Amino acid sequence: MSEQPPESPELDDANESDASAEGHDVPGTYRCGFAAIVGRPNVGKSTLLNALLRRKVSIVSPKPQTTRHRILGILTRPEEQIIFVDTPGIHSTARRAMNRHMNRAALSSLADADINLFVVEALTWTDEDQRVLDALKQQKRPIILVLSKVDKVTPRERLLPYITEMSRRAEFVEVVPLSALKNSNLEQLPSIIARHLPVSPPHFPPDQVTDRSPEFQAAEIVREKLTLRLRQELPYGLTVAIEQFKEEDGRLLVNAVIWVERTGQKAIVIGQGGEQLKEVGRSARIEMSNLFGQPVHLELWVKVKENWSDNEMALKQLGYEM
């Protein structure tokens, strides 16, 4: 994984002395490594990451395929640093360049992780789940099976035969039923993961929670608000690019462009009398102010780039690593 420093003695030493320099000496038994959160779309991967970190680092919506990038979320504890990798949902209808990018980002993450968290929605099993499990098995890394959304399971007894059935599908090091939404049964997960990480000093400073820049987070907040408000297919045809992000007189000035694929979509995003865009801007601005701890002035523009999501060059320009 590109974020992981190579295992050269010089770098390891540098990490250790960095940690000490900041007053964060770590024990020789300290563990640090990557835990990828993988699964089909919409099973609750980003919600799980945010709940584990008690911070929102990855956007969430009821629509599948919301996460488009690989996003690191870093949990630093006295005995370990777990670098979670939130991944796009792995899906089978990968005809467009964007979908291929998403599957590639997810599949490369699970190959590089020290341990994988395979998230499956409790009581369900689909062909897409099976596809993800097949990919995981090829990696021969330890797998924790996370059964998500157990708050929806009634009566609870229905879980037991399901867990038995699921345990037969692969050799999971642990099966953890939980509800990220209700924050239930999450406490034990970091310790279970840590047992499978290599002994290593931390890769990141203790106060860093993500590898993503404030600009990236700002763009994602706008995209989340759009995804929550817009109906049907439209969220899949838009992306957000930050054109300006600067501090002036104690406030952040943010200009963002919402790129859509067709002229007709532009009018829908803006809405009658500009109401839709105004609401998106208002809710995004409030969330950004909370995240960045200062007032935000947000300007949104809607522009058309024909068919950008099926154009490798456009995707690259818009920040999708290929």
Element (H, E) at 32: strand 31-38
Report the C-alpha gap between 205 and 220 in whole angstroms: 24
Dihedral sign, Cα of residue 47, residue 37, residue 173, residue 147? positive
The nearest distance, CB 44 to ligand GTP, in angstroms, is 3
Interface with ligand GTP (CB under 6 A), residue from 70, 149, 223, 225? 149
Tally of residues, the chain: 322
Other Cβ atoms less than 10 A from the Cβ of 306: the count is: 11
- 114 marked ligand binding residue: no
The alpha helices in 22-158, defined as continuous H runs, are 45-53, 97-112, 127-139
Size of the site for ligand GTP (CB under 6 A): 24
Indicate whether 62 belongs to the interface with ligand GTP (CB under 6 A).
yes
Residue 237 C-beta: closest distance to ligand GTP, Å: 16
Closer by beta carbon to ligand GTP, 26 or else 318: 318
The reply, when asked if residue 56 is annotated as ligand binding, is no
25 labelled binding-site residue:
no
What character string, x for contact with ligand GTP (CB under 6 A) and - otherwise, covers 2-41? -------------------------------------x-x
149 carries a ligand binding annotation: yes
Helix, strand, coil % over all residues of the chain, rounded to 5 = 40, 20, 40
AA letter at 5: P
Q: Which of 60, 105, 241, 270 binds ligand GTP (CB under 6 A)?
A: 60
Distances in Å between the Cα of 309 and the Cα atoms of 89, 107, 111, 182 are 17, 20, 25, 35
Is 62 assigned to a binding site?
A: no
Known binding residue 134? Answer is no
**DSSP characters over 71-98:** EEEEEE-SSEEEEEEE-PPP-S---SHH
Coil, strand, or helix at residue 222?
helix
Residue 159 lies near ligand GTP (rule: CB under 6 A): no
Phi and psi at residue 283, in whole multiples of 5°?
-70, -35
Please pick, from the candidates 94, 123, 181, 209, the single residue that binds ligand GTP as defined by CB under 6 A. 181
Q: Which is nearer to ligand GTP, 135 or 298 (CB)?
A: 135
Kindly indicate which of the ranges 13-21, 173-181, 198-206, 214-222 contains the residues binding ligand GTP, using the contact rule CB under 6 A: 173-181
Q: Which two tokens stand for residue 189?
A: 């997960």
- Looking at beta carbons only, is 15 or 50 nearer to ligand GTP? 50
Supply the minimum distance, in Å, between the C-beta of residue 220 and ligand GTP: 11
Among 15, 42, 239, 265, binds ligand GTP (CB under 6 A): 42
Q: Per the annotation, does 41 bind a ligand?
A: yes
Give the residue, chosen from 66, 210, 217, 309, that forms a contact with ligand GTP under the rule CB under 6 A: 66
Judge whether 22 and 205 are in contact, CB under 8 Å. Answer: yes
Task: Mark the binding-site residues for GTP, compressed into ranges.
Answer: 39-46, 86-90, 148-151
Could you list the residues that contact ligand GTP (CB under 6 A)?
39, 41-47, 60-62, 64-67, 88-89, 148-149, 151-152, 179-181
